[in-house]
Structure 1
Amino acid sequence: MPGTRSSVTVSAPGKVNVSFLVGPLGADGYHRVASVYQAVSLLEHVTATATDEPGISLSVEFTPGSVLASQARRQLDTGVDLLASIPRDATNLAARAAALVLASSDWDGGVHLQLSKAVPVAGGMGGGSADAAAALVACDALLGTALGHRALARLGEQLGADVPFALLGGVAVGLGTGTELTPALAPVPFHWVLVPARFGISTPQAFTALDEHRRAVAGGAGPDRIPVPAPPADVLHALRAGDPHGLAAVLHNDLQEPALTLAPQLRPVLAEGLAAGALAGIVSGSGPTLALLCIDEDDAEAVATSLGHRDIPAVPVTGPVGGAQILSRTGG
């Protein structure tokens, strides 16, 4: 059992869906998908600290020096408090993750979570899921529950489709609702420039827009008539080959057009990224973050700099990176 004020700090990555194929809407209300996830070097950090007081408490900051922190300062100047939009109560995914581990422990006290966020909020990069994955690992280590990766992944499935991947990291194919993971090979790094938006798009909103579009195109046939997608062999081949040009040619996201319809102001930003030298651009997940694929690290730095000169916030990242991992422990 931990001593009071013992703590564990864990990092977990945001992700880019280099391919996201959306299939039929199931009876459970979730779509069947074939996703190819790549974890990238934009990380969330969660510190779990043991407390005498039972229950879960939570505090949040934006990682100093991050694009997200800069974006939040700009929005605060216009009267929008991005930090205040992040829940501090039991609805926060990280708090829910901590509660699941706490329920499996013998600890009579509670846990305080300190979240340091760098992944765009409601940006389609799984930032909340990364927080949850980091909280699972941190609380498991803090409370000595020794649940193991498989049990933590099962807990993660209860929290959201992206949580098991944030635990795993690397590159993986996600089937079912995205939680049935199979690791995939990507032996060399790929270089991206991420462009966060000053607004969010909710995942349910993007899926609803896709379903409505498909009903209109199909002349009334519902989204349950869409075939179950298969993993895209061409995407997996480009990843295995370490070929950014090949990957650029096959990037695809079924949620991209719904996201661009909901937020048409993203279209010119995509065009700016391509004009600045990116090989290709894609909406990340349900958006609105844009992921621009570049040839190498130098090109990614050049694209990010060029966009910055146009007052478009951008951050170069690499992928794949590992999943949730313990960075430090203090106390008992």
Structure 2
Amino acid sequence: MSTSAGAGARTVRVKAPGKINVSFRAGPLREDGYHSVASLYLAVSLYEEVAATSKPGTPSTDITVSIGSSSVPGLAAGVPLDERNLVVKAARLLAEVSEDACGVHLEITKRVPVAGGMGGGSADAAAALLACDALWRSGLSREELSHLAAELGADVPFGLLGGAAIGLGVGDELTPALAPTPLHWVLVQSPLGLSTPLVFGELDRLRALDGGEPATPRAVDAAVLSALRASDAEALAAVLVNDLQPASISLVPQLAEVLADGTRFGALAGVVSGSGPTVALLAADEDHALVLAERLADAGHNALPVHGPVHGAKIVSDLHH
């Protein structure tokens, strides 16, 4: 009998950040159906939480999921509570390489918009990996966890890493980037979700209409990296870019109004984050972000001030009961 099967239940709680894409370049469609990208990910202070509770004496295939009561209302709608949820896949993957795995219940507290271009599901998967690793005492290094994370999706390794990072390949080849001082942003969340494949499909359609074939991106623009390193919001504002933005706006035309409102209310610059529909507006500092969020809220937008970079997945409590 494994040690975890004989012990009492234990709960490990992990939080992992959502992300925004400060810069996102997408190359042409590849033969494998993906696009090569060059992205700058920034982990921001909007966290998902996963609490993993052991079920002593049960097989490691006994994995259940629920949504925590302190989730943001409305965010849990449409989140699958079965095999389709990335947290279940994460726990299964880790159980395969853990000698001491038992059944586990995973409770997700949702705060990052679903299908919002912020990697909320990927943050959940990263949190589940770290929580189950601690719960089952798997003893995997961060690097080994990152390899497993990459099998779950391109954004999952970043959920573990956090901070700021350059993502190449399909976004999963990560290199940390220097961003010593947090920058301040206002996120405008949309009641709508956008599926990433749908947005990339629209990008390909718009590019075919234009007749232009983009080059494969090999690096993130040096001006973006230099602005982050200097924590220079004004310089970063001039180089925010997202190749997916025209496709997201084509699918959800209201996003153009959100970006226009952001500028009208004083944002230094705005960009659709990833595949959208969350819009990230850059502020000069913390006070500016608070004022901007207030103005946008008064105009009827769901606006939230955040800062980044912040740390990646992190254990916040570990309790036996």
Task: Give yes or no for TM over 0.5.
Answer: yes
For residues 68-107 of structure 1, the C-alpha deviation after alignment (integer angstroms, 9 at most, x for no partner) is 42xx2xxxxxxxxx52300000110111101111121223
Query: Which residue among 300, 306, 309 is the counterpart of 2:298?
Result: 309
Secondary structure of residue in 2 paired with 1:84:
coil
Contact 1:24 1:228 in 2 (8 A): no
Shift of 1:230: 2.1
The match for 2:257 is: 268
For the residue of structure 2 that corresponds to 1:40, the secondary structure is: strand
1:53 corresponding residue in structure 2: 58
Whether the 8 Å contact between 1:96 and 1:159 is mirrored in structure 2 is yes
Using the size of structure 2 for normalisation, the TM-score is 0.94
Question: Aligned to 2:179, which of 186, 192, 217?
Answer: 186
User: Shift in Å at residue 271 of structure 1?
Assistant: 1.1
Within a 5 Å distance, the mapping from 1:200-239 to structure 2 comes to 200-218=193-211, 226-239=215-228
Q: 1:4 and 1:107, CA in 2 relative to 1: closer, same or farther beyond 3 A?
A: farther
Relative to its length, the structure with more helix (as a share) is 1
Query: Are positions 1:329 and 2:318 aligned together?
Result: yes
Match of 2:132 in 1: 139
How far is the alpha carbon of 1:108 from its aligned partner? 5.7
SS of equivalent residue, structure 2 residue 306? strand
Spell out, residue by residue over 1:143-162, the C-alpha distance to the aligned partner (whole angstroms, 9 max, x if none): 01111111111111111110
* Residue 90 (structure 2) aligned to one of 94, 97, 106: 97
After TM superposition, give the deviation of residue 28 of structure 1 in Å: 1.9
Deviates more, 1:126-135 or 1:269-278: 269-278
Determine helix, strand or coil for the equivalent of 1:250: coil
Q: RMSD of the TM alignment (CA)?
A: 1.5
Report SS of the residue matched to 2:258: helix
Preserved contact between residue 60 and residue 83 of structure 1 (Cα < 8 Å): yes
TM-score, normalisation: structure 1: 0.91
Within the alignment, does 1:245 sit opposite 2:234 as a pair?
yes
Alignment of 1:72-111 (within 5 A): 72=74, 82-107=75-100, 109-111=102-104
Q: Does 1:281 align with 2:270?
A: yes
In 2, Cα distance between equivalents of 1:123 and 1:238: 25
Please, which of 296, 299, 303 is the counterpart of residue 288 of structure 2?
299
Q: Percent identity?
A: 54
**SS in structure 1 of the partner of residue 68 of structure 2:** strand
Check whether the contact 2:186–2:281 (CA below 8 A) recurs between aligned residues: yes
Q: Where in structure 2 are there 5+ consecutive unaligned residues?
A: none
Measure the CA separation in 2 of the matches of 1:108 and 1:141: 11
Q: Which deviations, in whole Å up to 9, do the C-alpha atoms of 1:241-299 show, x marking residues without a partner?
A: 11000000000000001000000011111111111111111001000000000000001
What are the ranges of 5 or more consecutive residues in structure 1 without an aligned counterpart?
73-81
* SS of corresponding position for 1:83: coil
The answer to whether the 8 Å contact 2:100/2:138 transfers is no
State the match for 2:26 in structure 1. Answer: 22
> What is the CA distance between 1:179 and its match in structure 2?
0.8
Q: Which residue, out of 31, 35, 40, partners 2:44?
A: 40
8 Å contact from structure 1 (residues 101, 140) kept in 2: yes
**Residue type of the partner of 1:271?**
A
Q: Distance in 1 between matches of 2:30 and 2:168?
A: 13
More displaced stretch, 48-57 vs 148-157? 48-57
Distance 1:142 1:112 in 2: 11
CA distance in 1, matches of 2:112, 2:58: 30
Contact 2:30 2:36 in 1 (8 A): yes
- Name the amino acid aligned to 2:48: E
